[in-house]
C-alpha cells in the first residue's frame, strides 16, 4: 500500500517516515494520536489520517493501535491500518468531523475544569459542574455512571443539551446491573478501569453479554447518540465509575484526537470526586461520633431542658461544638456549652476529652464555676489534644423560696441570652474572661443572676450568629429579635423555630441548650413532689 519494501521501514521512526497532513506536509509529534496512544499504553483508533507513499503522494488511512502482551509481560504494540477511500466530487460527502478546539481553548477548558471541580467538596455539585463544563462545548449528551461504596453501579446523570439548556433525563437514571468481569464491551471495560473507547451504536447491536450491555443499548436507542466516547473515572485507590459523552446533532463524530482531552478532563473530575467522597465519609464519621458523644439531658424537677445539634451542611466538617447538663453531688445542676477549635475528627475527640474532664472536676469539687474552669485550663495543654476552646460553665441552684439562681463563668464564648416570658431579652455579658488554652493562667470571674419565673436561658455556639459579610453584633441582634418573638412557645417549639428562623449559614455546626424555669416559684418540697 505504501509502495515500500520492509527493509526501508524497519528501524525507522514511523511518525517521521510516514505520518503526513492532508496536503503532504510533515506533522509535529504532538499531532500524532498513534504516538499518544502508544505512550499511554491503551488501545485507540483513527479514521482520518494520512501516510506518505513512496511516490510522494499521500494515502488516506484508517488505523487501530493496541498493546499486546505475552505471559503477562508487555512486549509490544500492534498497529493495523488500511486505505480509506476518498469521496468523489459527485459521490456522497463523508461525515465531517467537529471543529476541534484550539490549543488555547483546550488549556482554558482544562484550567476551568480544575478550578471549578476542586472548589467544591460536594459530590452532586461536582457532577453538576462537570456536566456544565462539557455540554454543549464537546457533546450533546453527558452520562455519568458511579460505583457506590457497596460495589453497585448507579447511573447518576443523563443530561442533554437542548437550546442552551441542560435537561436531565431521570427516566434513564438509576441502578445498573453489576460490572461483568470479562466483558469486552466499552462501558464494562471503562467501569473496570481498563481503557477508554470510541463507541458507535452498532457496537451494542450484537447479542448482549451482560445486563450493562442491555442498558447501554437502551441508552443509545432512547437518546439517538450516533457517536460516543467512554472514559474511566479512576480514583487514587479504586475505580469511581465511567464518563460518557455522546453526539446526536453536534457536527462530527468523536475521533482518537478527542481522547486525550476527554481523558484529561476525566482525570481531573476523578480527583475532585475522590476528594469529595473522602470528605463526606470523614464528615459522616465525625457527625456519628459527635451524635453518640453528646449526652442525654437529666431530669431536673421544676426545670425544662431542651438541646439541639445542627451539623454544618456544606462548608466545614463537624467536630468541635458540644453541650452538656448533669446533676452535681450537692443537688445543683451543671450546664456547659463549648466549642473546640477545629472542624474535624481531632476536634471531636478533643471535645469528648474536654467534656469528660469538666464533668469530673465539677462533680468532685464543691467550688464555683470559675475555679472549675481554672483547673480545666491548667490541664488542657498537658493532658488533652485540645489547642484552644471556648466554654461557658454554669451552675443552677434552687432556693428554699423556689427561685432559681444561675452562677456562671464565660471563657471566651458568646454570651448567654436570657428571655423573659414577656419577650424582654438580655445578654448576660458578666463573668467573661479569656478562652481556654492560652497558657496565661489568669483568674476567672463568676457572675450570678436570679432567673425570673417562666424565663428561657439560651446557651449556643457561634455557628448560630456568625454570618459572612455581617458583624457579630448583627448576628446577636438577629438572635435576640427572634428569641423575643418566640418567648411564648413551648420549649421544644422555641428551639426548633429559633433554628428555622435564624437560619444558620452552614459555615459551622451549631449546638444549642435551652433551659426554662417554671412560671411560678415553687418551694423545694413542692418541686421535689412535682419531680
CATH of the domain at 42: 3.30.450.20
98: in domain:
no
Asked if 204 and 217 count as a contact pair (C-beta separation under 8 A), the reply is yes
- Same domain assignment for residues 424 and 352: yes
Identify the CATH number of the domain in which residue 464 sits: 3.60.40.10
Q: Is the CB of residue 370 less than 8 Å from the CB of residue 445?
A: yes
Instruction: Determine phi and psi for 36, rounding to 5 degrees.
Output: -65, -45
Whole-Å CA distances, 223 to 266, 280, 416: 22, 33, 60
Which tens digits make up the pLDDT trace of 363-416?
A: 998 899 999 999 999 988 888 778 889 999 999 999 888 899 999 999 999 999
User: What confidence category does residue 92 fall into, taking pLDDT thresholds of 50, 70 and 90?
Assistant: very low
Domain boundary among 231, 256, 283: 283
CA dist 16 and 442 (Å) reads 79
User: Domain for residue 399, yes or no?
Assistant: yes
What is the rounded average pLDDT of the residues 43-67? 82
258 & 328 share domain: no
In total, how many domains does the chain have?
A: 3
Q: Is residue 1 part of a domain?
A: no
Residues 109 and 205 in one domain: yes
Of 264, 283, 302, the residue at which a domain comes to its end is 283
In a 10 Å sphere around its CB, with 0-12 CB exposed, 13-18 middle and 19+ buried, how is residue 297 labelled? Answer: middle
Most confident of the following: 186-190, 204-208, 284-288, 525-529: 186-190
Give the pLDDT score at 93: 38
Residue 289 domain flag: no
Rounded to whole angstroms, the maximal C-alpha distance in the chain is 114
Instruction: List, for residues 473-521, the tens digit of each pLDDT value.
Output: 999 999 999 999 999 999 999 999 999 888 766 567 889 999 999 987 6
Q: What is the rounded average pLDDT for all residues in the chain?
A: 85
Domain membership flag for residue 97: no
Chain-centre distance of CA 414, in angstroms? 30
Q: Answer yes or no: do 115 and 145 share one domain.
A: yes
What pLDDT score was predicted for residue 18? 87
Task: Please indicate, yes or no, whether residues 435 and 321 belong to a single structural domain of this protein.
Answer: yes
In a shared domain, residues 426 and 373: yes
Whole-structure pTM value: 0.52
Indicate the pairing of strand 389-398 with strand 333-340: antiparallel
What pLDDT does 1 receive? 85
Pair 143, 17 in one domain? no
Q: Which of 17-21, 47-51, 85-89, 527-531 has the lowest mean pLDDT?
A: 85-89
Statement to judge: residues 133 and 64 lie in one domain:
no
Q: Is residue 190 part of a domain?
A: yes
- Output the domain CATH number for residue 152: 3.30.450.40
The answer to whether residues 215 and 326 belong to one domain is: no
Q: Is 448 helix (H, G, I), strand (E, B) or coil?
A: strand
Judge if 43 and 171 occupy the same domain: no
Host domain of residue 158 = 103-283
371 shares a domain with 252: no
288 lies in some domain: no
Domain final residue, candidates 226, 256, 283: 283
Whether omega before 136 lies within 30 degrees of 0, making that bond cis, reads yes
Are both 301 and 277 inside the same structural domain? no
Confidence (pLDDT) at 227: 92
CA quadruple 186, 190, 194, 198: dihedral, nearest 10? 40
CA distance 472 to 467: 8
- Position 512 scores a pLDDT of 93
Amino acid at each position: 500500500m505504501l509502495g515500500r519494501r520492509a527493509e526501508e521501514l524497519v528501524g525507522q521512526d514511523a511518525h517521521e517516515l510516514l505520518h503526513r497532513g492532508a496536503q503532504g506536509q510533515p506533522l509535529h509529534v504532538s499531532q500524532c494520536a498513534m504516538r499518544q496512544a502508544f505512550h499511554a499504553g491503551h488501545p485507540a483508533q483513527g479514521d482520518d489520517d494520512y501516510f506518505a507513499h513512496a511516490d510522494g503522494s499521500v494515502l488516506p488511512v484508517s488505523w487501530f493501535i493496541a498493546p499486546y502482551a505475552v505471559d503477562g509481560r508487555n512486549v509490544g504494540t500492534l498497529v493495523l491500518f488500511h486505505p480509506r477511500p476518498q469521496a468523489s466530487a459527485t459521490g456522497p460527502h463523508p461525515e465531517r468531523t467537529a471543529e476541534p478546539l484550539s490549543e488555547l481553548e483546550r488549556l482554558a477548558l482544562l484550567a476551568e475544569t480544575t478550578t471549578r471541580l476542586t472548589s467544591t467538596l460536594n459530590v452532586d455539585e461536582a457532577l453538576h459542574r462537570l456536566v456544565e463544563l462539557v455540554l454543549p462545548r464537546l457533546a450533546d449528551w453527558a452520562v455519568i455512571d458511579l460505583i457506590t461504596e457497596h460495589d453497585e453501579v448507579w447511573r447518576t446523570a443523563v443530561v442533554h443539551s437542548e437550546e442552551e439548556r441542560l435537561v436531565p433525563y431521570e427516566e434513564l437514571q438509576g441502578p445498573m446491573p453489576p460490572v461483568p468481569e470479562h466483558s469486552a464491551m466499552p462501558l464494562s471495560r471503562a467501569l473496570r478501569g481498563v481503557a477508554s473507547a470510541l463507541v458507535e451504536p452498532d457496537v451494542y447491536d450484537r447479542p448482549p453479554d451482560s445486563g450493562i450491555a442491555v442498558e447501554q443499548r437502551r441508552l443509545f436507542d432512547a437518546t439517538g447518540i450516533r457517536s460516543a466516547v467512554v472514559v474511566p473515572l479512576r480514583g487514587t485507590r479504586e475505580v469511581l465509575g465511567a464518563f460518557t459523552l455522546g453526539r446526536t446533532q453536534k457536527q462530527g463524530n468523536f475521533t482518537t484526537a478527542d481522547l486525550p482531552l476527554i481523558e484529561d478532563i476525566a482525570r481531573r473530575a476523578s480527583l475532585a470526586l475522590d476528594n469529595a467522597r473522602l470528605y463526606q465519609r470523614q464528615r459522616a464519621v465525625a457527625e456519628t461520633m459527635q451524635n453518640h458523644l453528646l449526652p442525654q439531658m437529666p431530669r431536673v424537677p421544676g426545670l425544662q431542658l431542651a438541646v439541639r445539634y445542627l451539623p454544618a451542611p456544606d462548608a466545614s466538617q463537624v467536630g468541635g461544638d458540644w453541650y452538656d447538663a448533669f446533676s452535681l453531688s450537692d443537688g445543683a445542676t451543671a450546664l456547659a456549652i463549648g466549642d473546640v477549635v477545629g472542624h474535624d475528627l481531632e476536634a471531636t475527640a478533643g471535645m469528648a476529652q474536654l467534656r469528660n474532664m469538666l464533668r469530673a472536676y465539677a462533680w468532685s469539687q464543691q467550688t464555683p464555676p470559675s475555679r472549675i474552669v481554672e483547673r480545666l485550663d491548667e490541664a488542657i495543654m498537658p493532658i488533652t489534644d485540645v489547642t484552644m476552646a471556648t466554654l461557658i460553665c454554669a451552675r443552677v441552684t434552687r432556693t428554699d423560696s423556689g427561685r432559681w439562681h444561675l452562677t456562671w463563668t464565660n471563657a471566651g464564648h458568646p454570651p448567654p441570652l436570657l428571655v423573659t416570658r414577656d419577650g424582654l431579652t438580655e445578654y448576660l455579658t458578666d463573668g467573661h474572661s479569656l478562652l481556654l488554652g492560652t497558657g496565661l493562667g489568669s483568674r476567672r470571674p463568676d457572675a450570678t443572676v436570679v432567673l425570673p419565673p417562666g424565663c428561657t436561658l439560651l446557651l449556643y455556639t457561634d455557628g448560630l450568629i456568625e454570618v459572612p459579610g455581617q458583624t457579630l453584633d448583627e448576628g446577636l441582634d438577629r438572635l435576640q429579635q427572634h428569641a423575643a418573638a418566640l418567648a411564648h412557645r413551648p420549649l421544644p417549639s422555641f428551639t426548633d423555630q429559633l433554628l428555622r428562623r435564624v437560619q444558620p449559614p452552614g459555615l459551622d455546626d451549631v449546638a444549642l441548650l435551652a433551659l426554662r424555669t417554671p412560671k411560678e416559684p415553687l418551694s423545694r418540697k413542692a418541686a421535689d413532689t412535682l419531680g
